[in-house]
Amino acid sequence: VKFKQLQIENFLAITEATIAMADRGLCLIQGENQDDTSADSNGAGKSSIADALCWALYGTTARGVSGDDVINDKAGKGCMVGVRIEDGADTFIIRRHRKHKTGKNSVTIVQLDFAKPGVETDLTLGTDRLTQDRIDKIIGCPYEVFRAAVYAGQEQMPDLPAMTDKQLKLLLEEAAGVSLLEEAYADARKRLAAKTELYDKGVAHISRIESNQVAELARLSTIQASETKWQTEQTAKIDYIKREIADLREKIIAADKAYDTTRLPAIESALAEISKKVSGIKEEKGKLSIMDKAVADAVLKEASFNSDITRSRNIVAKEKGNLSKVHSEIGCPCPECARPLTAVEVEPRQKVIEVRIAEERAKIERLKQRQEDAHKVTQKLADERNVFSASMTDATVMLNQQASLMREKQNLRDQLGRMGDQRRLAVTKLDAMKALIAEKNPYSDMIAGTNAMCNALRDELDAAQKAQKVRSRDMEIAKSVAKVFSPAGVRAHILDEITPFLNGQTAKYLGALSDGNISATWSTLSRTTKGELRERFVIEVENTKGAKSFHGLSGGEKRKVRIACALALQDLVARRAVKPIELFIGDEIDDALDGHGLERLMGILEEKAMERGSVFVISHRSLRDWISNMLLVVKTDKGSTVEEVAL
Ligand SMILES: Nc1ncnc2c1ncn2[C@@H]1O[C@H](COP(=O)(O)OP(=O)(O)O)[C@@H](O)[C@H]1O
Ligand SMILES: [Mg+2]
């Protein structure tokens, strides 16, 4: 970074100045106080120039003045300091204002384009703070480093040897550009954290898959056990039904064997025969009953003669009575003539009666004959009937036989029925067995599903583990990167590198300033009592002819050490790869140096100016013997202005 031009308006003592700052070699800033002759050059406004640069860049001055106090008293307003900066091909102008007509209290950055002269691109950001960050980036150097390595203020010459480890570390890291590594380190750690998170997520993912796998395998073995159990039970069921079927078969075969197929038809024909016979018996019975009737009729007919005979006998008896009556009338008066009736007179009547009796008796005889005939018929019919009856078939035997055959037939039918039942049962059982054999193990599908799940999980695990390998490698790389940028990594390496450089430069400057009596040694790393490397920033100072520490040195010696250390640090800032700063301002750097020391310092600064471009030395002493390039700050009652003086 080159500071090309400084433009000052109403800043501290300076009313107005435009100063070219780049590639000036060794340049002396001297003052002339025409306002106060007693003050010689003091108070002319020399330091105000350096402070103007510092204020423009950082908003604060080496002397600690800020706010409205920086405005030139006489002007009271319109304070502005502009710095034109070249960084490679880019040119920026930083302008800081205080009570400025247009700029108010703002700080602005513009970029210039060589292709379009006069065109300024505004890079100012929303807040001064953001704009300041942008400025720090452009300069590539924070305030502390600027103060320690670029602008050694008059009163605040950086007391590097007296600095604490922490302060020195900050300065050195900034000066060496290591703080950039800090950002890189933060980035690397962020990346590492991201990679670690991914890795951890991967671990969690894998363990989730693994636990799923364990669960799934457990499920699988449970289902497999169930499958086996089902199969065993199923086999037992099939075996049982098989045995049942075998038993049935045996029974059926035995029953078949035992069953006489000829028997039922035989029974049927026997029964048919019996049936026929039984119907014959009916006919016989019919005939018998007809004969019975004939016998009964004959008996009736025979008996029917009895009444006729009885009537005829009664008539005979009555007539016998009549005869005796008529006989008894002999000698009895005639009813008509009342003379006694003679035997002759009554005889006719007796004769009639006697004829009648004889007739009746003949009738009886005839009737008896006929009855006798009828009886003979009856006898004959009864004999015939008895003969027929005796010849009739015996039904009891037949019926017994029939009943027995029927029973046997029923038994055979039952037997056939049972055999049919058994056959049907056997068929049913056979079907059931077939169904059992055909039945699919319900766990098989589940096992297939679970197996598929296990396989999928295994594949998933493989993929996850592969991915995890990549993540692990990524994480290891990120770790290595972080390690590289860590304090123990490149930072330590760089700090380790810069130490010899700083020591070399310091020794060079201190040797020149002190004739080699005083040594100042920078160290950035030290070993602990355990021998571990640890960052420790310190400048150890020793006077071979006296004090063993910085504090024991005289004021002049201390100043020499401070100058040497500051110059060495400036060299470090100037030479670092990122944004070297090609400027050094030593304000009253010659103070407290004797003539000899002054001469040596001037030699050193001249060399430095040749190497670095511009070195400004502010001094109230006349150093014209050594410096040919000079800015003269002239203070009048109107304020201070700056003149270029060619010597
Ligand atoms: N705001 C200001 N306006 C005008 N003059 C100021 C202001 N602040 C300080 N001064 C004066 O400027 C002078 C200091 O200028 P400085 O640059 O330190 O002088 P030098 O370095 O040449 O001795 C002093 O006389 C001081 O009173
Ligand atoms: Mg001064």
CA distance 497 to 510: 20
What would the pLDDT profile of 241-292 be if each residue is shown by its tens digit?
999 999 999 999 999 999 999 999 999 999 999 988 888 888 999 999 999 9
Of 73, 77, 616, 632, the one to substitute when testing ligand 1's pocket (max ligand atoms within 8 A of C-beta) is 73
What is the distance in A from the centroid of ligand 1 to the CA of 45?
Answer: 5
Cβ(45) to ligand 1 under 6 A? yes
What is the β-pairing status of strands 14-20 and 2-11? antiparallel
Of 8, 16, 48, the one to substitute when testing ligand 1's pocket (max ligand atoms within 8 A of C-beta) is 48
DSSP lists the bridge partners of residue 113 as: 116
Find out whether 497 and 575 touch, Cβ atoms under 8 Å: no
What is the distance in A from the centroid of ligand 2 to the CA of 152?
Answer: 12
What would the pLDDT profile of 90-148 be if each residue is shown by its tens digit?
999 999 999 999 999 999 999 998 888 888 899 999 999 999 999 998 988 888 888 88
Region 67-85 average pLDDT: 94
Q: What is the 3-state secondary structure (H, E, C) of 514-533?
A: HCCCEEEEEEEEEECCCCCE
Give the number of the ligand closest to the Cα of residue 17.
1
pLDDT band at 496 (very low <50, low <70, confident <90, very high): confident
**Residue 225: CA atoms inside 13 Å, Cβ hemisphere, count?**
5
SS3 611: helix
pLDDT, greater one: 476 or 335: 476
**Residue 331: CA atoms inside 13 Å, Cβ hemisphere, count?**
3
What is the distance in A from the centroid of ligand 2 to the CA of 641?
Answer: 15
pLDDT of residue 488 exceeding 80, the answer is: no
Query: Which is the closest atom of ligand 1 to the Cα of 65?
Result: 8
pLDDT band at 577 (very low <50, low <70, confident <90, very high): low
Find out whether 627 and 598 touch, Cβ atoms under 8 Å: no
pLDDT band at 517 (very low <50, low <70, confident <90, very high): confident
Query: Which is the closest atom of ligand 1 to the Cα of 618?
Result: 21
What is the β-pairing status of strands 151-152 and 583-587? parallel
The residue whose C-alpha atom lies closest to atom 11 belonging to ligand 1 is 13
Q: What is the pLDDT of residue 104?
A: 93
Q: What is the pLDDT of residue 57?
A: 95
pLDDT band at 545 (very low <50, low <70, confident <90, very high): confident
**What's the whole-number average pLDDT of the chain?**
89
CA distance 360 to 460: 148
Query: Which is the closest atom of ligand 1 to the Cα of 70?
Result: 1
CA distance 520 to 173: 19
pTM above 0.95, yes or no: no
What is the distance in A from the centroid of ligand 1 to the CA of 44?
Answer: 7
Find out whether 525 and 487 touch, Cβ atoms under 8 Å: no
pLDDT of residue 531 exceeding 80, the answer is: no
Sheet strand arrangement including 116-122: 116-122, 107-113, 90-98, 79-87, 2-11, 14-20, 639-646, 629-636, 25-33, 614-618, 583-587, 151-152
What would the pLDDT profile of 342-395 be if each residue is shown by its tens digit?
888 889 989 999 999 999 999 999 999 999 999 999 999 999 999 999 988 888
